[in-house]
Every structure is written in structure tokens, then in C-alpha cells.
Amino acid sequence: MLTQLEKMRNYFVTGATQSYAFRKEQLLTLKKAILQHEQALHEALYKDLKKSPEECWVTETGFLLSEINATLAKLHSWMKPKKVPTNLVNLPSSSYIMSEPLGLTLIISPWNYPLQLLFTPMVGAIAAGNCIVLKASEFAPATDAVMQQIITTIFPPEYILYVQGDGATVIPQLMQQFTFNHVFYTGSTAVGKIIYKMAAERMVPVTLELGGKSPCVVEADADIQVSARRIAMTKFSNAGQMCVAPDYVLVHQSKKEALIAALKHSINSFFSDTPQESYNYGKIINEKQFNRIIGYLQQGTIVHGGSYNLKTLFIEPTLMENVSVTDPIMKEEIFGPVLPILTFNTAAEAKAIIALNPNPLAFYIFTSSKAKENEWLTGVAFGGGCVNNASWHLTNHHLPFGGRGFSGTGQYHGKFSFDTFSHKKAILKTPTWFDPSVKYPPFKGKLGLF
């Protein structure tokens, strides 16, 4: 492995990956391969997570293609050196910023959106002119196999290397033997800490896209029917296995019953009253995650759903109330189709609950009041979020996507990905025709101060 990484380093040093023509060609090659393998990818995603082709398109293949298209449209202008103003003391110099590739980058991804979360950062890394080592999660093996086939067919291993196996073994082997120029990791906060420590040993910069408990606040003045539809849509997509899924709802006490009724209605209209047979409803990735999630069902009162089947890894969309903030259901990221509903009377009460799990990756506020919207958006420290919506902020590549503190560091998507995988080199260029003696010693008396 070490020899292979050294070959990649040698390849990078030749400068082969740096031209605009090269980067564009690789992105076009990738796009063509995704379109050619679309059917195989959708079948694999169905096998791993029971995603319908429509859901695959919106959250995986189509999402990725849209990122490639947006990058191709702007890459040439992103790559150009950016002129910036020069301050008085440096005149008549001029100043600009060059975007340079970082070098050899490592991208590590989780299993819940296995294609999107491995290949979307790769688009940024290719666009910025890097060599890349890819490591997908071993827990979505069908998608892992198709992605491996795509990458090894279209890219030489000295440019993009696809690595497989148990993450806890393979990743330390890579990171402890070799100094990458950047590590881009998406996954749990617990493993994020391990990655951060390993990177620190070799002073490797990181982007960490982590998880956490993303709250969803529903104010008394919210449109309850629309709020319920949008919350249920995001929460139960991919059977709740989404990093930005509303982890729990905080609803104004006066609207609790109305919201629960509307959520039940939305769940039934999306997945019927037999969601275990629904074309639109996914499955839990594996038995370990299944057992963890059903453990939460004992920690409160089930007001909707609650059934499950280990054989098919099915857990019904479930609403719960009467949960305690000291139980695991309110201390751990749920990452499954279980939605606790808590109430508040004052914003201070709700903020105190949110503060128990600080720096959520996402935050959603449902209200029709501009004043409340401002109060919430400025009053909670979160990665990104929506007003009267949930999760869709991440589908706009003009917005940076990332967390803060325990939910991550750094951001990507669109231009933000290009910047994440580039070094910003600051250049001051000074002409020689003007060279006043005031800039050189002896300085005594030159400022007129002494």
C-alpha cells in the first residue's frame, strides 16, 4: 500500500493533474460513467438500503450529476488567480490569490448515502487538481462494489485509488504510514475524533462532516399541515438514516396535538398504513443499527408506529412523546425512523433543551413570524438549516454544507468544495521601477517620530 501511495505522490509531482483540460476531462469521464452505471448503482442502493430509483436519483445519482454539472460550468473561472486590492503601504505592488491543488487527499465516507457522500467530495478534489484515495463504508457492500468497479475502470490507480475493507483497520494503516495533504471524513463524531487525532500526529489538515442531534422547532404560528409534511418527508426518507434528519421536534405546547395528528396523516399518505410493503420506504442498514434503534422504543410513549421486523430490517415510522432528556434517546443521535416530540411554552425552555446537545449539524425553524425566525437563527449555533423546511439547504450548491464543533469542521458543495481541496496561495508582486530609500535602514528619524 505504501508503495502505491508513493507512486501517487510521484504522479502528482509531475503536474499531470493540474491543467484545466485534465480536470475537465476527468469530470466528464466520471459523469459518463455514472450515467452508464446508473441502473447498476440504483440496484445496489436498493440492495443496501431499499431505496427506490426515484429516491436514488434525488439523493444519490442525480445529486452527484448536478454537482458535476455545476462544477464544470464554473471550474475555469474558479481556477483563475483572483486579483485583490493592495493596501497603501505596499503600493505600487499588486496582489492576487492562486488556488493550488493540495496534493494527495484521502476521502472517507459512511454508508447512508454511499454514492453521494464518497463521490461528491471527490468532484471537488478532482476540480481542485488533486490525487485521491477513496475509502467507502464497508457496510453498504453492494454500492461499494459498483463504485469500486467504476473508479478502477475509468481512472488509473496513481491518480485515484479505491481502497476497500474494514475501516477500523484500513484507515489507520493509511493515515499512520503516510502523510496525506488533506483528509476529508464524513461519519460519526466518535470516529471523527479518531481521524482528527491520527491527522494531528502528522499535521494533516482535515474536513470533518459529522453527525449529532438536529432539532426542529415548530412555533405556535407555524402552518402545521405544511410543517408536518416537510418534517415527515425528511425524517422518514432513507428510514431516518440521514445526518440532517430532524432528530427531535420541539413544538409549542398549544400545537402539539394538531402537529401529531398532521404528522400521522403525512406518514400514512406517504407510506400507506402498511409501510413495510411501501415502495417509498427504506430499510435499516444492518442488524447492529436495527437493535440500537429499537432500543429507543422503550424510552417514552409511542403515539404512532412502533412495529418492526428483524428479518426485513424494517422499523415503522414512529412518533414518540414523554421522553426524558436524560435518556439515550435524547442524548444520542437517533439516526433512524423514530421521532420524539417534546413541547415548550417559552423559547428559553426550548433553547435549554437544545443546549444539552450543542452545535447541531442542522436546525429547522417553522414559523410565520420574521421576528421569531431571526430570534431562532441567531440564538442557536448550528451548521446550516432551513426556515419552514428541512434538509433541502444541502441540495443548493451555492450554500456551504458543514457543521461546527461536535458536528464538524469545514464545508463543501459547489465552489466551497473547490476551496476546501485547494491551497490559497497569497502573492504580492512588486515592480522594480519604484524603490524609495524610506523602506530600507537606517530607519532612525524616517517616521518623523523621534
* Interaction between residue 211 and ligand NAD (CB under 6 A): yes
Only one of the segments 2-10, 207-215, 305-313, 368-376 lies at the binding site for ligand NAD (rule: CB under 6 A); that segment is 207-215
Spatial contact of 321 and 341, defined as CB atoms under 8 Å apart: yes
Site map for ligand NAD, 384-403, x if CB under 6 A? -------------------x
Please give the Cα distance from 248 to 318 (Å, whole number). 12
Which of the residues 41 through 60 are near ligand NAD (CB under 6 A)?
Answer: none
* Interaction between residue 191 and ligand NAD (CB under 6 A): yes
Which residue has its beta carbon closest to ligand NAD?
Answer: 167
* Residues recognised as catalytic: 209, 243
Q: How many Cβ atoms are within 10 Å of 5's Cβ, its own excluded? A: 21
At closest approach, how far in Å is the CB of 436 from ligand NAD? 53
* Interaction between residue 167 and ligand NAD (CB under 6 A): yes
The grid coordinates of residue 54 equal: 426515484
Please give the Cα distance from 439 to 450 (Å, whole number). 17
Only one of the segments 60-68, 72-80, 186-194, 342-350 lies at the binding site for ligand NAD (rule: CB under 6 A); that segment is 186-194
* Interaction between residue 315 and ligand NAD (CB under 6 A): no
* Interaction between residue 134 and ligand NAD (CB under 6 A): no
Pick the closer one to ligand NAD by CB: 101 or 400.
400
Identified binder of ligand NAD from the candidate list 75, 104, 115, 117, rule CB under 6 A: 117
Pick the closer one to ligand NAD by CB: 171 or 232.
171
Identified binder of ligand NAD from the candidate list 210, 249, 313, 386, rule CB under 6 A: 210
Site map for ligand NAD, 61-100, x if CB under 6 A? ----------------------------------------
Question: Which amino acid appears at position 21 of this protein?
Answer: A
* Interaction between residue 335 and ligand NAD (CB under 6 A): yes
Pick the closer one to ligand NAD by CB: 110 or 317.
110
Phi, psi of 223 (to 5 degrees): -75, 105
* Interaction between residue 1 and ligand NAD (CB under 6 A): no
* Interaction between residue 361 and ligand NAD (CB under 6 A): yes
Spatial contact of 159 and 131, defined as CB atoms under 8 Å apart: yes
Question: Which amino acid appears at position 209 of this protein?
Answer: E
At closest approach, how far in Å is the CB of 60 from ligand NAD? 12
Spatial contact of 317 and 267, defined as CB atoms under 8 Å apart: yes
The size of the interface with ligand NAD (CB under 6 A), counted in residues, is 27
* Interaction between residue 109 and ligand NAD (CB under 6 A): yes
Identified binder of ligand NAD from the candidate list 42, 50, 51, 135, rule CB under 6 A: 135
Identified binder of ligand NAD from the candidate list 34, 122, 133, 171, rule CB under 6 A: 171
* Interaction between residue 186 and ligand NAD (CB under 6 A): yes
Pick the closer one to ligand NAD by CB: 93 or 389.
389
* Interaction between residue 187 and ligand NAD (CB under 6 A): yes
Residues that bind ligand NAD (CB under 6 A): 108-112, 117, 135, 137-138, 167-168, 171-172, 186-188, 191, 194, 209-211, 243, 333, 335, 361, 403, 408
